[in-house]
Amino acid sequence: MLSLYRGYGRVAWVALGLAAFLLVFLALPILKVVFVAFQDPHSGALTLLNFADFFGAALFQASFLNSLYVSGMSVLLATLIAIPLAYYTTRFNFEGAVLIQTLGIIPLIMPPFVGAVAMVLLLGENGSVNLLLDEHFGFTIPFMRGLNGVILVESIHYFPFILINLSAALNNIDRAMEESAQNLGCHGSRLFRRVVFPLAMPGYVAGASLVFIKVFDDIGTPLLLNINNMLAPQAYLRISSIGIADPMGYVISVILVVFSIFSLWVSLLAMRGKDYATVQKGGGGLARRDMRPWEKVVCYAIIIVILLFVLSPHLGLTLLSFGTIWSFSVLPDAYTFDHYLTVFQSAFGYVTNTLLYAGIAAGADVVIGTAIAYIVLRTGLAGRKWLDYIAMGALAVPGVVLGIGYLRTFHDFQVPLVDKPLASWWVIIVVALTIRRLPYALRACMAALQQVSELLEEAAENLGATKARSVRRIVVPLMSGGILAGFITSFATASVELSATIMLVSNESDAPLAAGIYEFMQNAAGRGPGAALGMIAVLIVGLGTYLSHVVIERGKKSREATSIVGEETAT
Amino acid sequence: MSNPSASVGVRLEGVTKSFGDTAVLKGIDLAMAPGTLTTLLGPSGCGKTTILRLVAGLEMPTTGRILIGDEDVSLLSASHRDVAMVFQSYALFPHMTVGENVSYGLKVQGVGKEERHARAEAAMASVGLAGYGGRYIDQLSGGQQQRIAVARALILEPKVMLFDEPLSNLDSKLRRQMREDIRRLQQDTGITSVYVTHDQEEALSVSDEVVVISEGAIAQKGTPKHLYRRPVSPFVATFMGDANITTGRVRDLDGVMVVEIDGLRVPIEDAEGLAGERQVALRPESLNLKDIGPGLRGTVRSHAYVGAATEYWVQWGDHELFAIMPASTREFPVGAQVYVDIDPVGVAVIG
Ligand SMILES: Nc1ncnc2c1ncn2[C@@H]1O[C@H](COP(=O)(O)OP(=O)(O)O)[C@@H](O)[C@H]1O
Ligand SMILES: [Mg+2]
């Protein structure tokens, strides 16, 4: 025991503190939610009655089926968008590859709910496109009618997840494997069915299950499109309109968590077998060929159509933010800076709140992430892996569920001095953001720490530095690129998080950007300023995405240069 | 630089080390005299690096004690030991300049900037890299990095220096020069040093004492010459250089000790108390092929030219003897009947 804990004295306290934080703000609220779902609201006894009530109510049955339908169709549509793009970049020598890569990034910098209203104005029943179609051809297309709108918005936003996974899987297929199949007389579509498809499947399944659950958990997009009869929106509406005693919100939460865990499990399962596809690094990739002229035409036509759809939220939002009145017309009547002025004069609090919340949350994430990474990878503390597991468990917790859990767990905990329940103090929003973004920051910190040879730390100690000093002066500076990338990503995504925060905003002056956009977009008069706020959000996320890309690329370069300080060889 | 008379010794007493259930070191007793350079020699995985890490305090012994001078440091953390290590992969800090690397230990000690600078310049000069302080590590060649790693360790004027296969990442030409440089630095400073290698030539050329390690235990220790002449086991004999292992009878022949191998008598020195049936190691360089006796009778099985020498495999009874002859001597074709004569300097009685 002595040797196990020697030198870990302070580290052990830090580990205990982290464990306590994760238990109180992650495990406890979720357990509470699950418990309440199985509890009789009046007697407090354990019961399955809430679930019986849930599945007996027509509204919830419909919501459940709608959520399944929308998630499934979104995966399908996202797949249909991703397949040609992945196919063109991996099978052909195609000069438009950069265009496709850009296509894969543009959607990610706009949260789906931000662009939803703008999409209605462009593609809705009385939107620009249908007005033009009706005028010139006498028909309209119900892009945005009912659930279609949710499916379109979500699949345009999430198809990059499938595209990235699918392209990576296709690129990893060894050319030799394809050639040997051809050698054995396997060609064309048969080759695709027998060789390419099975090998690309794990990557695809991983991406698809991720998309499924993101859509299943999303509450902002349906709410902004006025679709209430889906599961996640119902959870929010029950709690916010009926109150935290109503058991239905908790039952829905349990269902959301079960589906989350299930799809995470599916994607883990799919990716576990992925190694067999990567026979050799570098030499991989399918044989590419040049496109024939007519193929090029088809290809560009497809890409341009997709590009137009992908850009439509951005285009619509831009028009909306600069337009005066835009209703029953192809384009806004006139253009103005007024919405931005309104935002800067009376709604800038949303922006500063967001910068504050996301800043603190991202900062906390990388500090916690670095600490957990260090404890897990570099110490022998007993049970250290559990810190990692619990932190990563946040992946399986939808934002609404975390929000509901916080409300229920902390509503009667009075914060000393502030004289408010913890559940309605702005700090709880920061805590929620921290927990939600922690898994991503943690992975970034783990990867960064793995790049720093343990020998460097030992060398510093050998030269007289204490453990703490060598961590501060050697390990952390060398991790800084990865930590910074983790910070920026956490910051950018936290600044547009809606699902957990919408439950926790208890007064207007504490609301962050996403909640502000949501508020504005509720009524027609607020759309202009809402869009202007949306543009600011896009700017923050876009800038963040770009910066983290730059940081990571720079890190890669300097790592190549210093790779000579490799791990000690076995001799 | 420190004064050789201030040197202290290093002692390991009954040191064992296990990782989980794997016993990596099985009881090491070692005493290294002040100011000497001791080499740990042994095959990959035998526990050499582990011994160094124990002395440096980067691992704690499972049982046993480690003493530096008269001080028991067994429980002292790495940062409190006056021991500097040159890591096999150098472990230079990539985010610092060469100068910052070299002076890092002084900075930790709180030495002022000017003194740090001056001493770093001196340390870099002592390894032949004066003026390199402003560069970054990735702007140095492998050999230069190696020197900087030595300078970084040396600057603290430690009581003990540890070298973990310091030359293993260098090409053979540079290796020869670097090992001379390290030996010279060690002798100039008189810092008690432990040097790890798996290359016997390197071990024999730099050390005051060689410790041969096998599977976590000491197989034998002694001066290079002693190990070469009196290996205690076939393992040590073969590790100290190529050897043909056979048996012979050691006896006193009118006051001269000889070893009799298949009737051939070879005089040997320092063989008191060895009389009887013994294993014998025959160095290939000391086997001479001749047309006439005396010698071990055999048949040439094969031969190969290797530049300055010719290597022969000779069938002798049910043994195969490996011999190396200068290229200048006459050649024996495959199938030739030969007598293999033995030069006494190349005979080591094992035991
Ligand atoms: N931290 C460790 N955990 C488990 N096994 C180890 C550890 N360090 C070394 N070993 C094992 O101890 C043995 C000796 O290692 P080492 O001292 O590095 O050998 P050498 O330096 O002689 O090549 C090896 O079998 C190695 O795998
Ligand atoms: Mg080693």
Q: What is the pLDDT of residues A207-263, one digit of tens each?
A: 898 899 989 999 999 999 999 999 999 999 998 888 888 899 999 999 999 999 998
With cut-offs at 50, 70 and 90, classify the pLDDT of residue A489.
Answer: confident
Residue linked to tokens 């390197």: B202
Whether A554 contacts chain B with CB within 8 A: no
Residue B94 with chain A: CB contacts under 8 Å? 478, 558, 561-562, 565
A68 by Cβ neighbours in 10 Å (0-12 / 13-18 / 19+) ranks as middle
Residue type, B134: G
Q: In whole angstroms, give the CA distance from residue A454 to residue A470.
A: 11
Residue of B nearest to A561 (CA): B138
Q: In whole angstroms, give the CA distance from residue B304 to residue A275.
A: 46
The class that CATH gives domain A61-336 is: mainly alpha
Q: In whole angstroms, give the CA distance from residue A426 to residue A226.
A: 27
State the ligand closest to the CA atom of B42.
1
Residue A564 with chain B: CB contacts under 8 Å? 137-138, 142, 145
Domain A1-36+337-562 has CATH 3.10.20.520: no
- A459 or B2: whose pLDDT is higher? A459
Residue linked to tokens 């011999």: B323
Mean pLDDT over A535-546 rounds to 87
State the ligand closest to the CA atom of B165.
2
Residue A561 with chain B: CB contacts under 8 Å? 94, 138
| 3-state SS, residue B196 | strand
**Strands (E) located in B201-242:** 209-214, 217-222
| pLDDT of the residue at A285 | 56
Q: What is the distance in angstroms between the Cα of B34 and the nearest Cα belonging to chain A?
A: 21
Q: In whole angstroms, give the CA distance from residue A317 to residue A534.
A: 7
Closest CA to A98 of A110, A109, A111, A89: A89
Q: Answer yes or no: is the C-beta of B49 below 6 A from any ligand 1 atom.
A: yes
Q: In whole angstroms, give the CA distance from residue A99 to residue A101.
A: 5
Out of B56, B93, B168, name the one closest to residue A474 (CB): B93
Supply B197's token pair: 């290698």
Count other C-beta atoms under 10 Å from residue B339's C-beta. Answer: 17
- Best residue for ligand 1 mutational test, from B17, B24, B52, B87 (most atoms within 8 Å of Cβ): B24
Contact check, Cβ <8 Å, A467/B83: no
Q: Does residue A247 have a cis peptide bond before it, meaning omega lies within 30 degrees of 0?
A: no
Out of B49, B92, B105, name the one closest to residue A565 (CB): B92
With cut-offs at 50, 70 and 90, classify the pLDDT of residue A558.
Answer: low
Q: In whole angstroms, give the CA distance from residue A449 to residue A7.
A: 20
Out of A421-435, B154-168, B220-234, B265-279, least confident range? B265-279
Q: In whole angstroms, give the CA distance from residue A461 to residue A464.
A: 5
Portions of chain A given CATH number 1.10.3720.10: 1-36+337-562, 61-336
Mean pLDDT over A477-496 rounds to 88
Out of A65-79, A320-334, B151-165, B307-321, least confident range? A320-334
Q: In whole angstroms, give the CA distance from residue A8 to residue A1.
A: 11
Q: What percent of chain A has pLDDT over 90?
A: 34
| Shortest-distance atom of ligand 1 to CA B196 | 21
Mean pLDDT over A343-360 rounds to 89
A468 CA distance to ligand 2 middle (Å) = 27
Q: In whole angstroms, give the CA distance from residue B265 to residue A26.
A: 84
Residue type, A48: L
A200 by Cβ neighbours in 10 Å (0-12 / 13-18 / 19+) ranks as buried
**Best residue in A1, A457, A462 to probe B by mutation, most B CBs within 10 Å?**
A462
Give the side-chain half-sphere CA count within 13 A for B113.
Answer: 0
| 3-state SS, residue B231 | coil
Find how far residue A416's CA is from the centre of its chain: 34
Q: What is the DSSP letter of A477?
A: H
| β-strands B296-306, B337-342 pairing | antiparallel
A193 by Cβ neighbours in 10 Å (0-12 / 13-18 / 19+) ranks as exposed
Please tell me the residue having the least CA distance from ligand 1 atom 25: B45
Out of B49, B79, B89, name the one closest to residue A565 (CB): B89
Give the side-chain half-sphere CA count within 13 A for A171.
Answer: 12
Beta bridge partners, B323, equal B312
Out of A35-39, A126-130, B311-315, least confident range? A126-130
Cα-flanking dihedrals φ and ψ of residue B24, to 5°?
-95, -40
Q: What is the distance in angstroms between the Cα of A568 and the nearest Cα belonging to chain B?
A: 6
| 3-state SS, residue B201 | helix
Asked whether residue A482 carries a pLDDT value surpassing 60, the answer given is yes
Q: In whole angstroms, give the CA distance from residue A568 to residue B89.
A: 6
Closest CA to B46 of B250, B216, B206: B216
Contact check, Cβ <8 Å, B91/A469: no
State the ligand closest to the CA atom of B214.
1
Residue linked to tokens 């009706």: A134
Q: What is the pLDDT of residues B86-115, one digit of tens each?
A: 999 999 999 999 999 999 999 999 999 999
A368 by Cβ neighbours in 10 Å (0-12 / 13-18 / 19+) ranks as buried
Out of A463, A477, A561, name the one closest to residue B105 (CB): A463
Cα-flanking dihedrals φ and ψ of residue B230, to 5°?
-130, 60
Q: What is the pLDDT of residues A297-309, one digit of tens each?
A: 888 888 888 888 8
Interface predicted TM-score of the whole assembly (ipTM), two decimals: 0.83
Find how far residue A37's CA is from the centre of its chain: 26
With cut-offs at 50, 70 and 90, classify the pLDDT of residue B176.
Answer: confident
Q: What is the pLDDT of residues B237-246, one digit of tens each?
A: 988 888 999 9
Asked whether residue A158 carries a pLDDT value surpassing 80, the answer given is yes
Residue type, A137: F
- Round the average pLDDT of chain A to a whole number and report it: 84
Q: Is the Cβ–Cβ distance between A433 and A500 less than 8 Å? A: yes
